Amino acid sequence: MEQQLSDKFLEKYKQKPIATYFAPGRVNLIGEHIDYNGGLVMPCAITAGTWLLIAPNNDQVIRFNSVNFEEEQSFDIQKEYQKTGHEWYNYPLGVIHELQKFGWMAQGLDLLYFGNIPIGSGLSSSASIEVLTAFALNDYFNLGHDKLELVKLSKRVENIFIGVNSGIMDQFAVAFGETDKAIVLNCDTLKYKIVDCNLGDYNLAIINTNKARKLEESKYNERVSECSEALTALNKEINISNLCELTAEKFALHSHLIENKTTLMRATHVVKENDRVHLAAKALNAGELEEFGRLMYASHQSLKELYEVSGAELDAVVDFCSNYEHVIGARMTGAGFGGCAIALLKKGFEEDFAQKLTESYVAKIGYPATIYIHGIGNGVSSI
């Protein structure tokens, strides 16, 4: 991989790269739609990711190329940058813009990116390219920022420079992921624990439904406000600032205060899903992968029936998995309505799984899903 990219770099820039960096994509293993309710998420980095090759130039310009995209671009060295339309290079440009706010002055650079994460499918290729660029420039130019600062800076790029309203989980997982470990993270406090997540005889199958996530933003905002309605209703009797301050038992004592049936369903999902993350961490600590798998199925069921953010495509994948004997757990991952599902698939059954799932999925949905097999990999690093 690196050799091919190095050749490509030479072809594009007529010089050899000086340094190479890698940042992974991520999946959320469990804990969905609870980050904005003060709860816990459990992401991990995956073995697919984005590479960046760098060399300085004497032309006082920053040149951007990506193997994944045709548009090339170069920018003069300036103190500040602005987003220029929707082209891919706005992501790394945003990172440079943010780094310069800390007093760094950009220098002449040739940059080449390549990613093997499916782009725009919810595996966070965007956080990958952001954290990758921030980490690489910080390392290459010795800027002295720690990883957490780079995570926060990358999130600002996504939220402000690019204009996508998303939480910090993605950048955090891309930066702090470790091989065969999951991260239990509170996205508000940024307190986190690394837990063993050795999948043993199993692999992480990632199934891209190939359904565009069109509804995502409006429904996401709707769920955020439904949760805040539930909180207001509960606070007539108790005093909490987040739904996830309640355990399932405590919630049951006060849930009668939520009169609206839909609002009650949403809050029930949130509280129970947060409990499931605790149980999932316990199961992983005890090496009980099958219990972890059962919690994944329970999470999906709740997202489908109580939170109503699944859809025919994601359900088709998870239904197939629950009837396939070599999968011990599966669920939608990410905001829902499309994007990806994940499954714990026994090693050795990759081809059989792909063939049978494809048959079943096409019969129900009319077009194929794409299946990737990955491990749990390391966070951003230099190579």
Binding flag, residue 24, ligand ADP (CB under 6 A): no
Instruction: Write each residue from 46 to 85 as x if it is in contact with ligand ADP (CB under 6 A), else as -, in one continuous string.
Output: ----x---------------x-xx----------------
The CA distance from 107 to 84, in Å, is 20
How many CA atoms lie less than 13 Å away from 266 in the CB half-sphere? Answer: 26
| 355-373 burial: b if 16+ Cβ within 10 Å, else e | eebbebbeeebeeebebbb
Q: Of the two residues 68 and 262, which places its CB atom closer to ligand ADP in the complex?
A: 68
| Interface residue with ligand ADP, options 28, 37, 73, 126 (CB under 6 A) | 126
- And the tokens for 202? 């199993």
Only one of the segments 35-43, 126-134, 188-196, 254-262 lies at the binding site for Mg ion (rule: CB under 5 A); that segment is: 126-134
| 121 near Mg ion, judged by CB under 5 A | no
Helix, strand, coil abundance in the chain, percent, nearest 5:
45, 25, 35
Specify the residue for token string 């990883």: 147
- Residue selected from 88, 161, 202, 361 as contacting ligand ADP according to rule CB under 6 A: 88
Is 220 marked as a binding-site residue?
yes
Q: Residue 376 has what DSSP assignment?
A: B
Which one of the spans 119-127, 267-275, 305-313, 323-331 is the region binding Mg ion (CB under 5 A)? 119-127
208 binds ligand ADP per the rule CB under 6 A: no
Name the catalytic one among 110, 170, 275, 315: 170
The annotation status of 70 as a binding-site residue, yes or no, is: no
What is the distance in angstroms between the CA of the first residue and the CA of the last residue of the chain?
Answer: 12
The answer to the question of whether 32 is labelled as a binding residue is: yes
68 contact choice in ligand ADP, Mg ion, none (CB below 5 to 8 Å, kind-dependent) = ligand ADP
- Find, among 8, 44, 20, the residue nearest to 170 by Cα: 44
The angle that helices 147-156 and 169-176 make with each other, rounded to 10 degrees, is 150
Kindly tell me which residue out of 121, 126, 186, 263 binds Mg ion, with binding defined by CB under 5 A: 126
Look at residue 203 and give the partner it binds from Mg ion, ligand ADP, none, a contact being a CB closer than 5 to 8 Å depending on partner kind: none
CB of 333 to Mg ion, least distance (A): 13
Among 36, 113, 361, 372, binds ligand ADP (CB under 6 A): 113
Instruction: Please give the backbone phi and psi of residue 336, each rounded to the nearest 5 degrees, phi first.
Output: 105, -170
Closest CB to ligand ADP among residues 133, 263: 133
In which residue are the tokens 């011990």 written?
A: 328
- 11 labeled part of a ligand binding site: no
CB under 5 to 8 A by kind: which of Mg ion, ligand ADP, none does 174 bind? none
Q: How far is the CB of 174 from Mg ion (least distance, A)?
A: 10
Q: Looking at this protein, which amino acid is placed at residue 272? A: K
* Closest by Cα among 88, 96, 107, 115 to 5: 115
Beta strand spans in the chain (E)? 19-30, 40-56, 61-66, 69-76, 109-115, 181-186, 192-196, 202-208, 327-332, 340-346, 370-374, 381-382
Half-sphere exposure of 63 (CA within 13 A, CB side): 18
**If binding is defined by CB under 6 A, does position 154 make contact with ligand ADP?**
no
Among Mg ion, ligand ADP, none, the one that 121 touches (CB under a kind-dependent 5 to 8 A) is ligand ADP
Residue 123 counted as an annotated binding residue: yes
Known catalytic residue at 110: no
115 touches ligand ADP by CB under 6 A = yes
Rounded Cα gap, residues 74 and 78, in angstroms? 12
287: left (phi over 0), alpha (psi -120 to 50) or beta: left
Smaller CB separation from ligand ADP, 20 or 121 = 121
Nearest residue (CB) to ligand ADP, 88 versus 135: 88
- Smallest gap from residue 157 Cβ to ligand ADP (A): 11
* C-alpha 277 chain-centroid distance: 17
The residues binding ligand ADP (CB under 6 A) are: 50, 66, 68-69, 88, 91, 113-115, 119-126, 129
Residues at the annotated binding site for Mg(2+)?
Answer: 126, 158
Catalytic residues: 170
Where do contacts with Mg ion occur on this chain (CB under 5 A)?
126
Feature table: binding site for ATP: 66, 120-126
